Amino acid sequence: MDSQASKENNIEMRLKSLPTSAGVYRFLDKDNTVIYVGKAKNLRNRVQSYFKNDLSHSPKTRLLVKKIHDIKLVVVENETEALLLENNFIKQYKPRYNILLKD
């Protein structure tokens, strides 16, 4: 299996097993570098929304999705915890695709 097919299979499996709880997600590229950090009230709905063939996605978002090789999750109790953790992760990893909350 080539690496593109392997990547797609890995992402597909991850998307099917996402929890519906609140949390923070990190998108990683082929080098295991965090390229985007986000928070969600419902991780499954939010993360899956990136992978729907939606022409309303910006070119930046479409490019981001092409570069995702893995997804890491942290489930938390509520949205407030998710917001705080997201902010900490953005400061820690300085992901390329996060523009807001860096300061």
CA 89 from chain center: how many Å? 12
- Cβ atoms within 10 A of the Cβ of 60, count? 10
Which residue is listed with tokens 């097919």? 5
pTM: predicted TM-score of the whole model, two decimal places? 0.87
What is the tens place of the pLDDT at every residue in 19-55?
999 999 999 999 999 999 999 999 999 999 999 877 8
| Cβ atoms within 10 Å, residue 50 | 20
Q: What is the pLDDT of residues 52-88, one digit of tens each?
A: 877 888 888 899 999 999 999 999 999 999 999 999 9
Question: DSSP labels for 26-65?
Answer: EEE-TTS-EEEEEEESSHHHHHHHHTS--TTS-HHHHHHH
d(CA 36, CA 46): 13
